[in-house]
Amino acid sequence: MSFVRTPDPTPGWLSDEELAVIRQRLPLLYVEAVPVRVDGMGQVTEVGLLLRVNPDGQISRTIVSGRVMYGESLRDALFRHLEKDLGPMAFPQLPASPTPFSVPEYFPPPTLGQYSDGRQHAVALAYVVPVTGTCDPRQDALELTWMTPEEAASPSVSAEMEGGRGALVRAALASVGRLP
Amino acid sequence: MSFVRTPDPTPGWLSDEELAVIRQRLPLLYVEAVPVRVDGMGQVTEVGLLLRVNPDGQISRTIVSGRVMYGESLRDALFRHLEKDLGPMAFPQLPASPTPFSVPEYFPPPTLGQYSDGRQHAVALAYVVPVTGTCDPRQDALELTWMTPEEAASPSVSAEMEGGRGALVRAALASVGRLP
Amino acid sequence: MSFVRTPDPTPGWLSDEELAVIRQRLPLLYVEAVPVRVDGMGQVTEVGLLLRVNPDGQISRTIVSGRVMYGESLRDALFRHLEKDLGPMAFPQLPASPTPFSVPEYFPPPTLGQYSDGRQHAVALAYVVPVTGTCDPRQDALELTWMTPEEAASPSVSAEMEGGRGALVRAALASVGRLP
Amino acid sequence: MSFVRTPDPTPGWLSDEELAVIRQRLPLLYVEAVPVRVDGMGQVTEVGLLLRVNPDGQISRTIVSGRVMYGESLRDALFRHLEKDLGPMAFPQLPASPTPFSVPEYFPPPTLGQYSDGRQHAVALAYVVPVTGTCDPRQDALELTWMTPEEAASPSVSAEMEGGRGALVRAALASVGRLP
């Protein structure tokens, strides 16, 4: 395996093999979003969690999450992953501020940290994003489930969250003053 | 002058005289908002500043600002003052997070601090608020002027801002990654 | 009862009677601090909660909390209450940033909000404050108890917190990346 | 050039050649710190900027900045680069909160953004870090210059900052309530 040094017509694109190698060498930069519904006063009323079937057939919950590509702004990456995970009619309201509410660090297990990712060391910039339209998750997510803040913060939902993201959902709720 | 202790049909209401006395005794709690326009990606493109004529005939610029009443939530106070200063068709998007980007402290002059208010000691919770509708300032504000971030942060506009709020507008721009 | 309008040798001072009246008329501004211990890398390792006996003899837990006086900066108020509640040898490290991690709103019950205060409507600016010295709570606080983040966030400790501040302690932990 | 897949005794280490290739393929994750002096009340009094000679002999100013390695926590990376750039006796007080005050995005020029880096696409988590000891910059930084907030925010100092970091220093000052 080797990198091609000729000019690249698709910058940011990496073969699966190249990415697999890099994942052992560098922390990868991610953006993550906790989709929420807000009322007319901006108060968060519901949290949207993605339900999906993992490659091993196990069902788990997660949030919107994806890699930032070479040359891509954080804002563009956030929008692209929101559209990919929630569909084109979700109409997310991207935050005016690019400062995340939290910066979760995912390490391969065994890890002493809160968050884990079996594939890689990843650092994510995490945002709370109100969506105003209709969500239509792509095929590998079975469903977007809307929950109250209380449900989303509960131990039973937390136990189903991938990579320890239950704590991240609670931190998201805390950042909007809605952690029970 | 004295306070009436009978049950109050209009809680939070204070006579001008009572308020004048309290202003010498306690810091008053304010909410303030920097109105902005955002593009489809949530990026701030313009800042709205109110142009007004002060009681002494001098023209000055300011932002949305007002007192929090007894029993009123911060969110309700913010919405009330946005509607009062920008009109009923401004359609402000109140932030999901109640945490302000800054907490300006206004002291009567002479003051060593950044912000001043001749009437009182006030502490404000300041927010950046995207507005999506049409702004129609009330009578005592002549005009809402939309400016680029560069204009809003300029020394000439700063010099026209009431109470030192030029620094607050720059801090607002910094909080959304748009300070030149 | 009436306010004295002559120059006040003790600005910010209010008689108990005056304060009692104002508490029915205006939201009062508070600062609050969650004392923490940090390790050499700045990571929060312990949370300090005050154990105290209420006037009715009931034991409860709380955090550092107190009113901002007329003419007093937030930073001075925070330092004054830290010294009052933790003693003169606590050596708190006040945050460089005056922006709070949360702005809890306390309303008299019955309230739909998270936080309550039987005496008044109060709005607090809440900070996480590392202390590096020895804490020696004043007489009406029996004890400062240091806990792990897990203990401090637990339902049993939350149930003992005054005014619903269990949620505030969890929000404090979330803000430093230590919410379980 | 190729990646070695055998277990790596120095994880996170990349040859210069490998790094050069990856820099054209992926955004790299950085941590950055604006060193400050604070007074006894936590208020920022001075900002420290590094003066250095670039490879082309040009003199420029910058802040503490460096890459996050594979398997390294943000906190460890921040501490490592502070020690590397300020020396072992600087005694930095790492923030309790891992949330940055800003997330500058550096793109290779030509760029429409605020920040640029000729070598790569980098995204940095930027922190304000009080230092309490004696700073002794390493060889390739000539000097650490302490300035008042007013000096650090001035156009003349900004013009000397690498990659547009003058705006970042102003955002740092805004985050601690010290932007003029």
Q: Is the peptide bond before B110 cis (omega within 30 degrees of 0)?
A: yes
Q: How far apart, in whole angstroms, are the C-alpha atoms of residue D139 and residue C173?
A: 39
CA angle at C119 for the pair C117 and C120, rounded to the nearest 5°: 75
**Hey, how many other C-beta atoms are within 10 angstroms of the C-beta on A138?**
12
Range in A39-53, D9-23, D37-51, D55-69 the model is least confident about:
D9-23
> Does D167 sit within 8 Å of B102, measured CB to CB?
no
This model of the complex carries an ipTM of 0.89
> Does C179 sit within 8 Å of A167, measured CB to CB?
yes
Nearest to C167 by CA among C178, C152, C148: C152
Using pLDDT thresholds of 50, 70 and 90, give the confidence band for residue A13: low
Of A102, A103, A179, the CB nearest to C171: A179
Q: State residue A9's pLDDT score.
A: 46
Of C36, C42, C76, the CB nearest to D93: C42
Question: Number of A:C CB contacts under 8 A?
Answer: 29
Q: State residue C2's pLDDT score.
A: 37
In chain D, which residues have their Cβ closer than 8 Å to the Cβ of C176? 96-98
**Hey, how many other C-beta atoms are within 10 angstroms of the C-beta on A132?**
12
At D117-174, the pLDDT tens digits run 999 999 999 999 999 999 988 767 778 999 999 999 999 999 999 999 999 999 999 9
The 3-class secondary structure across chain A, one letter per residue, is CCCCCCCCCCCCCCCHHHHHHHCCCCCEEEEEEEEEEECCCCCEEEEEEEEEECCCCCEEEECEEEECCCCCCHHHHHHHHHHHHHCCCCCECCCCCCCCCECCEEECCCCCCCEECCCCCEEEEEEEEEECCCCCCCCCEEEEEEECHHHHCCHHHHHHEHHHHHHHHHHHHHHCCCCC
- How high is the mean pLDDT of chain A? 89
Region label for A131, one of left (φ > 0), alpha (ψ between -120 and 50) or beta (otherwise): beta
Tell whether the model's pLDDT for residue A106 goes beyond 60.
yes
Percent of chain C scoring above 90 in pLDDT: 72
Chains that touch D (3 or more CB pairs under 8 A): A, B, C
> Does D94 sit within 8 Å of C97, measured CB to CB?
no
In chain A, which residues have their Cβ closer than 8 Å to the Cβ of B93? 42, 93
Region label for B22, one of left (φ > 0), alpha (ψ between -120 and 50) or beta (otherwise): alpha
In chain C, which residues have their Cβ closer than 8 Å to the Cβ of A114? 177
DSSP state string for C67-133 = EPPTT--HHHHHHHHHHHHH-TT--B---S----SB--EEEPSS-SSSEE-TT--EEEEEEEEEB-S
- How high is the mean pLDDT of chain D? 89
State the nearest Cα–Cα gap between C27 and chain B, in angstroms. 5
How do C59-62 and C44-53 pair as beta strands? antiparallel
Of B36, B75, B76, the CB nearest to A96: B36
In chain B, which residues have their Cβ closer than 8 Å to the Cβ of D103? 177
Calculate mean pLDDT across residues D34-45.
Answer: 96
Which residues of D, range 107-136, sit inside 8 Å of B by Cβ? 114
Cβ of D7 under 8 Å from any chain A Cβ?
no
Q: How far apart, in whole angstroms, are the C-alpha atoms of residue A133 and residue A83?
A: 11
How do D28-38 and D122-130 pair as beta strands? parallel
Half-sphere exposure of residue A69: CA atoms within 13 angstroms, side-chain side: 13
Chains that touch B (3 or more CB pairs under 8 A): A, C, D
CB of A173 within 8 A of CB of C175? no
Phi (first) and psi of residue D81, to 5 degrees: -75, -30
Of A114, A167, A174, the CB nearest to C171: A174
Best B25, B116, B123 member to test C by mutation, with max C CBs in 10 Å, is B25
Handedness of CA D118, A29, B43, C96 (dihedral sign): negative
Cβ of D38 under 8 Å from any chain C Cβ?
yes
Give the three-state DSSP class for B107. strand
Percent of chain D scoring above 90 in pLDDT: 72
Tell whether the model's pLDDT for residue C167 goes beyond 90.
yes
Q: How far apart, in whole angstroms, are the C-alpha atoms of residue A98 and residue A84?
A: 20
Cβ of D39 under 8 Å from any chain C Cβ?
no
> Does C103 sit within 8 Å of B99, measured CB to CB?
yes
Q: How far apart, in whole angstroms, are the C-alpha atoms of residue D172 and residue C80?
A: 26
More confident residue, D16 or D118: D118
Of D103, D179, D180, the CB nearest to B174: D179
pTM (2 d.p.): 0.91
In chain C, which residues have their Cβ closer than 8 Å to the Cβ of B18? 25
**Hey, how many other C-beta atoms are within 10 angstroms of the C-beta on A131?**
23
